Amino acid sequence: MHISIFRTLYKNVIDNHRIERLLQRHNILFEKTVSDRGSRYRITADSEDTINTFKKQLNMIYPQICF
């Protein structure tokens, strides 16, 4: 099992639902916490390849988010 944590800032991400749909499309389990500065996602996947594929697609949508 591979776990990765990343944070989005509200000024960088307008549509958090888009990120969540992308996670669900790849069958990645995630937990989300929300604060006034942004959202924090803890994602869990069975393989590292799944997370890497998700990171590449997320980077195409939001290049300002880094893991």
Q: Which domains does the chain have, with CATH numbers?
A: 2-61 (3.30.70)
| Strand ranges inside the chain, DSSP E | 2-9, 29-34, 38-45
Q: Exposed e or buried b for every residue in 3-18, given b needs 16+ CB within 10 A?
A: ebeebbeeeebeeeee
Question: What does the block give as tokens for 57?
Answer: 């697609």
| pLDDT, tens only, 11-56 | 667 777 888 888 888 888 888 888 777 788 888 888 888 888 888 8
| pTM to 2 decimal places | 0.68
How far is it, in rounded angstroms, from Cα 47 to Cα 63?
A: 23
pLDDT digits (tens, 9 = 90+) for 2-15: 666 777 765 667 77
Q: How far apart are CA 65 and CA 13, in angstroms?
A: 9
